Amino acid sequence: MSFLEAGVQGWAIVLTWPNLAYPVVGTLLAMLAAFLPGLSGVTVMAMALPLTLAWEPIPALLFFAALVGGGTFMGSVTAILFNVPGSSPSAATLIDGYPMARNGEARTAIACSAAASALGSTFGIVILVLLLPWVRSLLLSFGPPEFLMLTIWGLATVAMLGRGNWLKGMAAAGIGLLLAMIGRDPQTSEDRYTLGLDYLQEGLTVIPVLLGLFAITETIELMASQRTSIAGELGPGAMRGSIREGIAAVWRNLGLFLRSSAIGTIIGAIPGVGGTVASFVAYGHAVQSSPDPERFGKGDVRGVLAPEAAHDAKDGGSLLPVLAFGIPGSEGTVMLLVLFEQHGIVPGRELMSAHLPLVFALIWALFLSNWLTSLVGLAVSGPLARITVLRTQILAPVILCLAAVGAIATRGLLGDLLVAAAFGVLGYLMRRHAWPRVPLAIGFVLGRPFETNLLLTLRLQELGRIDLLARPIVLTLALLILGTLLLPAWRMRKAA
Amino acid sequence: MIGAGDLGFTLLLAAGVGWLLAQTLQLGPAARFVSLAVIAVTLALILVEAARQLRALSRQREEEAQWPAPRELRALAWVAAIVLLIAGLGGPVGTGVTLAAYLRLEARASWLAAALSGTALCVLVELLHRGLGVPMPAARFLG
């Protein structure tokens, strides 16, 4: 069966009633879950796994594909409106999304996020479909050295983010890396910096740290400042920005959108790297490639567009290793893999040949879910944007409570709440004393993969199993890292 | 404008990294390899920044007020309160009580509005816990 025939058959499967209802219901459930603190599409997937055991494979697959695609956008809505990242990858969106909300441009930010999200996921899916025949050889070329270079590329973006004060940015990233090292050493299993506490043996988890650094910090700032609302003194009628402006921003920055989507698709396809790296690398690229980088961090729509496009394009890419090898690239695809097992579907050659229409049905369900999420998001962006003009004294405690619930809801541990509170205070002090928080977040998120892949690469090199100079992807990434580090210096020199 | 508080915070960070260094030196050679490299670079960067701030501070004539304002202290106290209330009373009741207390004491909402809002949040969190299975430390009052 040709890919084209399988693609058409896949569409037919999705559009048949009642099959169509599964991705629609799945999308709406994932959206609702992503808007609630501590919940995500993955949580709903975990809860739905036992419920879908008795289902036929096709409805279960369609439902789960929608859960993978449906949750991503709403996590960014909370990031834009309240500085609360609904999921870790949304942390990159809040850097410019929240300042836009503070400038009264929440509608533009949400609309841009929705448009970039839908188009980015479409880009990812198109690349996924085009690459399906060649996926095996492409994925096998990635090993620890390539992962290491990728994490270093992510860390190199710090050089651009701390442009106001390069020293502080790099030092904050170093602190983030060190915080990620709390817990057992990956090589020797020795406890590091655990203060003798069992809680710290597994290390700090991402959600409480990010909620503390951004959401709790922002709440303290809102409570302590004289601002009457997130959007300052602006009344509902005085709010600037529009849905049209948000959508137009994607077309005005088409090059950036395409590059960010490509970054998201490539990183999404690499197992274990995930959407957070994709979002931050895309954000860093947006800053680096901009002629006016000083506008970022103050509410530039390109700072919303780039991470959103990358984050959603990643969904398509992350399906590649699952379908071809059964290797999950994210939490969502882990759940998808469990679902495959439950229904006796074996990823790999058989799935990619005998069950190709099923593969396409999964891909189209993901496509449908991403578009549905964005359309619903666009429809509700107006009312949602009005939240930013609510009184600070009413909004701040609600955000604080939601952040607290979000922190403990992930694992049900009160220790996570204490960690979020501690990072909230640290974030507030950093903000007060003009230390950038984003490099710390990037260092923290990339710390574990950086250390693990560095140790693996060194060991493989020591054993003579790899030759770094003979690996084209390593060399290409090394050039990109060099370019990322040298470009700001070259720009500064040129400006001087 | 750089104040003494800025320099104090930088030195606090340096002290934190210094403590990590002391802890790292107690680890085995294999476990401390990567950490030591990161600590060395981070500490050097922080100390260079501290030196830069010290130079700027000595050149500056007037110092900006850096000590926490009463509003800041109150905001920090509220964060401490929410942590203590949630930890002490359990997730749903703790968040509900915190919201009600804040609305009454800070936002000057009526007792009724504060109590209703607090109860609504408590019920929402409890529903998340029981209905959707979100792990949440049980409320001690509700059982």
Each residue's pLDDT tens digit, A74-91: 777 877 877 777 666 777
**A463–chain B nearest CA distance, Å:** 16
What's the one-letter identity of residue A469? Answer: L
Q: Which A residues 444-473 touch B at CB under 8 Å?
A: 451, 454-455
Q: Which residues pair with A191 in a beta bridge?
A: A184
B19 to chain A: closest CA residue: A193
In B, which residues are within 8 Å of A33 by CB distance?
132
Distance CA A44, CA B132 (A): 8
Query: A17 falls in which pLDDT band (50, 70, 90)?
Result: confident
Residue A484 and residue A152: Cα distance in Å, rounded? 11
- Interchain proximity A177–B38, CB inside 8 Å: yes
- Which among B41, B106, B107 is the nearest to A174, CB-wise? B41
Q: B99, B54 in Cβ contact below 8 A?
A: no
Complex confidence, ipTM: 0.85
Nearest CA in chain A to B89: A414
Preferred mutation among A40, A166, A178, A451 to probe B, highest tally of B CBs within 10 A: A178
User: Which chain B residues are closer than 8 Å to A393 by Cβ?
Assistant: 103, 106-108
Residue B142 has pLDDT above 50, yes or no: no
CA distance A210 to A231: 22
> CB atoms < 10 A from the CB of A442, how many?
30
Q: Could you read off the pLDDT of A264-319 as tens digits, one per residue?
A: 888 777 665 567 778 888 888 888 788 887 788 888 888 888 988 888 887 777 77
CA distances in angstroms from B89 to A104, A372, A407, B92, listed in the order given: 37, 40, 16, 8
Q: Return the ∠ at Cα A388 (arms to A386 and A390), rounded to 5°.
A: 85
Give the closest-approach CA distance of B115 to chain A in angstroms.
Answer: 14
* A157-174 per-position pLDDT tens digit: 666 665 557 788 889 989
Query: What per-residue confidence (pLDDT) applies to A82?
Result: 75
pLDDT of res. A271:
60
- Tokens coding A476: 């290409």
Terminal C-alpha separation, chain A: 61
pLDDT band at B139 (very low <50, low <70, confident <90, very high): very low
User: What does the pLDDT look like over B71-110, one tens digit per residue?
Assistant: 888 888 887 877 777 766 666 777 788 788 888 887 777 8
Q: Which residues contact A366 (CB under 8 A, 6 or more apart)?
A: A65, A66, A68, A69, A121, A125, A315, A316, A319
CB A34 within 8 A of CB A72: yes
Judge whether A175 and B13 are in contact, CB under 8 Å.
yes
Average pLDDT, chain A: 78
Cα gap A170→A168, rounded to integer Å: 6
User: What does the pLDDT average to over A219-248?
Assistant: 68
Q: Which residues of A touch B6 (CB under 8 A)?
A: 433-434
Q: Sort out which chain A residues have CB atoms less than 8 A from B134's CB and list them.
A: 38-39, 43, 409
Which of B 29-88 lie inside 8 A of A, CB atoms?
30-31, 34-35, 38-39, 41-42, 45-46, 48-49, 52, 69, 71-72, 74-76, 78-80, 82-83, 86-87
**Is there a contact between A401 and B13 if contact means CB atoms under 8 Å apart?**
no
Residue A61: is its pLDDT beyond 70?
yes
Q: Is the pLDDT of residue A235 over 60?
A: no
Predicted pLDDT of residue B140: 44
Instruction: Please name the member of A187, A193, A397 whose beta carbon is closest to the beta carbon of B20.
Output: A193
CA distance A349 to chain B (A): 37
How far from chain centre, in Å, is Cα A15? 29
The neighbouring-strand residues paired with A453 are none
Query: What are the C-alpha distances in Å from A401 to residues B11, B79, B85, B133?
Result: 32, 10, 11, 19
**Where does the pLDDT of residue B136 fall: very low under 50, low under 70, confident under 90, or very high at 90 and above?**
low
